[in-house]
Copies of this chain bind each other. A is one copy, B any other.
Amino acid sequence: MAGALTWNRYGKSSIRLVKVRRAADPHDIIDLTIDVALEGAFEKVYTDGDNRGCLATDTMKNTVYAFAKVEPLDHVESFAVKLAEHFSEKPGVSLVRIAIAEHPWTRLHPHAFAREGEEVWTTVVTYADDAASITSGLRGLVVLKTTDSAFAGFPRDQFTTLPETRDRILATSITAAWTYAEGFDDFAQRAAVRAALLETFAAHKSESVQQTLYAMGEAALAACRGVVDVQLSLPNRHHLLVDLSPFGLDNRNEIFVATEQPHGLIEARISRK
Contact of A198 among B19, B114, B264 (CB under 8 A): B114
Please tell me if A246 contacts chain B, counting CB pairs below 8 Å: yes
In the assembly, what is the distance between CA of A8 and CA of B159, in Å?
A: 24
In the assembly, what is the distance between CA of A262 and CA of B218, in Å?
A: 37
The answer on a CB contact under 8 Å between A12 and B155 is no
Interface size on A, residues (CB 8 A): 137
Task: Tell which of A74-82, A124-132, A137-145, A181-189 binds the partner.
Answer: A137-145
Instruction: Give the number of copies in the complex.
Output: 4
Q: Taking chain A's interface residues, is the majority helix, strand, or loop, or is none over half, making it mixed?
A: mixed
Identify the closest chain B residue to A6 (Cβ): B271
Interface string of A33-53 (1 = CB under 8 A from B): 001010000100111111111
In the assembly, what is the distance between CA of A48 and CA of B256, in Å?
A: 29
The answer on a CB contact under 8 Å between B65 and A7 is no
Q: A70-B249, A229-B6 are contacts. A115–B115 as well, Cβ < 8 Å?
A: no
Interface string of A219-263 (1 = CB under 8 A from B): 001100000011100011001001010110111111111111111
Least Cβ distance of A28 to chain B in Å?
A: 9
Query: Which A residues from 161 to 211 make CB contacts under 8 A with B?
Result: 161-162, 169, 198-199, 201-203, 206-211
Least Cβ distance of A265 to chain B in Å?
A: 5
Q: A13-B263, A160-B59, A262-B12 are contacts. A112–B201 as well, Cβ < 8 Å?
A: yes
In the assembly, what is the distance between CA of A154 and CA of B51, in Å?
A: 5
In the assembly, what is the distance between CA of A109 and CA of B201, in Å?
A: 10
The answer on a CB contact under 8 Å between A255 and B54 is no
Interface string of A1-24 (1 = CB under 8 A from B): 111111111111111111111100
Contact of A207 among B12, B13, B51, B207 (CB under 8 A): B51
In the assembly, what is the distance between CA of A80 and CA of B71, in Å?
A: 47
The answer on a CB contact under 8 Å between B259 and A16 is yes
Question: What residues of B have a CB within 8 angstroms of the CB of A5 in the complex?
Answer: 214, 268-270
The answer on a CB contact under 8 Å between A49 and B211 is yes
Question: What residues of B have a CB within 8 angstroms of the CB of A213 in the complex?
Answer: 46
